[in-house]
C-alpha cells in the first residue's frame, strides 16, 4: 500500500498522529470515517498524488494516533480539536493552505476545519456527511432505528467499550481482505482489537452528541458559513438522504453554491469506487482556467 508514501508519527504536543504523505503539488488532506483508519484511502491517495501532495492521517483516537485523557464534555474528541490537529499537522509538513476531504466522521472534521480556519482551507469535500446538528435536529424513529449506533456508542451509563471489546469480531462486520485490500483489512482489524482505539471511537460519538452540536449551534447563530468551494460526494447505495435532499440541507451552511456528485457505491466510497472518487476529487481540485 501507499507506494512512494512516507509513514510518520508526528508529535503535535497534545496528540501524536500516525500519518502517510506523498506526492507533489497542491496539498490535500484525506480524513477517514468510523471505524476505518487512514488506510481506507489506499487506492485513492496514489491517484491523487500524481497531481497533489497527499496527507492521510489517522484521526486522534483512531488507528495508530493517540488520544488525550478524557475531558469534560468529551472535548478532547471534539471535531474542533480534531480540526486543530489537521492544521498543526499541515503546518508541521510545511503547508499553510490546503484542501480537506472527509468521509463519514471525517466529514465532520473537514467541515469543522473549514469553519474554524477559513483562511487555511482552499477546498472542502464532504463524503456521506452532514453537519451533526442537522442530523440531531431531525431525529425521529426512522433515523433512530437506522443510525442506532450513534446512541449506543455515544451513551456513557453503560459504556459500549465493554461490549465491543468482549467480542470485536461479533460487533464489527467488514468485507474480507479481497474486497478491502489485504493491508487495509489488516490495519483496520489491528485497530478494532485495541481497547484504546475502541474508547477513542466511542468518545468521538459522545462528543458528537454534545459539544460538536454546541459548536454548530454557535456557528449558525453567528451566521458563519464555509467560504471555500465545497463538493458533496453522496453514495448511491447509502442513506444520507434519510432526512431529505442532503444538498438542500447543506446549502445554508455554504457561502457559495454546492457542487454535488453521486458515486455509484456503498458507504465506503474510497474502497468500493476508488476510480470514481479519485476522478471526482481531481476534477474538483483542478486549478480554474482563466477566462479568455
**How far is C-alpha 1 from the chain's CA centre?**
20
Provide the 10 A C-beta neighbour count for residue 194. Answer: 16
Selected catalytic residue, list 104, 116, 187, 204: 104
Q: What percent of the chain has pLDDT over 90?
A: 96
Give CA torsion, residues 185, 186, 191, 194, to 10 deg: 130
Give the pLDDT score at 289. Answer: 57
DSSP 122-146: EEEEEES---HHHHHHT--HHHHHH
Mean pLDDT of 154-163: 91
pLDDT higher than 90, residue 178: yes
Mean pLDDT of 165-184: 95
Exposed, middle or buried by CB within 10 Å (0-12, 13-18, 19+), for 54? Answer: buried
Cell matching residue 95: 503547508
Mean pLDDT of 162-191: 95
Cell matching residue 109: 472534521
Mean pLDDT of 281-288: 92
267 is catalytic: yes
Domains, the chain? 6-285 (3.40.50.1820)
Mean pLDDT of 94-123: 98
d(CA 47, CA 277): 10
d(CA 77, CA 213): 13
Confidence of residue 291 (pLDDT cuts 50, 70, 90): very low
Q: Phi, psi at residue 117, to the nearest 5°?
A: -135, 60
d(CA 55, CA 116): 20
What pairing do the DSSP bridges indicate for beta strands 26-31 and 6-11? unpaired
d(CA 128, CA 109): 13
Average pLDDT of every residue of the chain:
96
d(CA 189, CA 177): 11
Give the pLDDT score at 125. Answer: 98
pLDDT higher than 70, residue 3: yes
Amino acid at each position: 500500500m501507499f507506494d512512494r508514501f512516507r509513514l510518520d508519527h508526528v508529535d503535535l504536543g497534545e496528540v501524536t498522529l500516525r500519518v502517510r504523505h506523498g506526492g507533489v503539488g497542491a496539498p490535500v488532506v484525506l480524513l477517514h470515517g468510523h471505524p476505518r483508519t487512514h488506510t481506507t484511502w489506499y487506492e485513492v491517495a496514489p491517484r491523487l498524488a500524481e497531481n497533489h501532495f497527499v496527507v492521510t492521517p489517522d484521526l486522534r483516537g483512531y488507528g495508530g494516533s493517540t488520544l488525550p485523557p478524557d475531558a469534560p464534555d468529551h472535548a478532547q474528541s471534539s471535531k474542533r480539536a480534531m480540526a486543530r490537529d489537521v492544521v498543526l499537522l499541515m503546518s508541521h509538513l510545511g503547508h499553510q493552505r490546503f484542501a480537506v476531504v472527509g468521509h463519514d466522521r471525517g466529514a465532520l472534521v473537514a467541515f469543522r476545519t473549514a469553519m474554524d480556519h477559513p483562511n487555511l482551507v482552499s477546498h472542502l469535500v464532504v463524503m456521506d456527511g452532514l453537519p451533526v446538528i442537522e442530523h440531531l435536529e431531525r431525529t425521529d424513529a426512522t433515523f433512530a432505528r437506522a443510525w442506532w449506533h450513534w446512541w449506543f456508542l455515544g451513551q456513557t451509563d453503560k459504556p459500549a467499550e465493554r461490549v465491543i471489546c468482549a467480542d470485536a469480531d461479533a460487533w464489527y462486520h467488514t468485507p474480507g481482505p479481497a474486497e478491502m485490500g489485504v493491508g487495509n483489512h489488516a490495519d483496520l482489524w489491528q485497530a478494532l482489537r485495541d481497547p484504546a482505539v475502541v474508547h477513542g471511537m466511542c468518545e468521538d460519538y459522545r462528543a458528537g452528541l454534545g459539544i460538536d452540536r454546541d459548536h454548530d449551534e454557535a456557528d449558525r447563530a453567528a451566521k458563519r458559513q464555509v467560504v471555500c468551494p465545497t463538493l458533496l460526494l453522496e453514495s448511491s447505495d447509502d442513506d444520507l438522504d434519510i432526512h431529505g435532499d442532503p444538498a438542500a440541507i447543506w446549502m445554508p451552511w455554504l457561502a457559495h453554491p454546492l457542487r454535488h456528485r453521486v458515486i455509484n457505491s456503498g458507504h465506503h466510497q474510497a474502497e468500493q469506487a476508488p476510480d470514481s472518487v479519485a476522478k471526482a476529487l481531481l476534477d474538483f481540485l483542478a486549478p480554474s482556467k482563466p477566462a479568455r
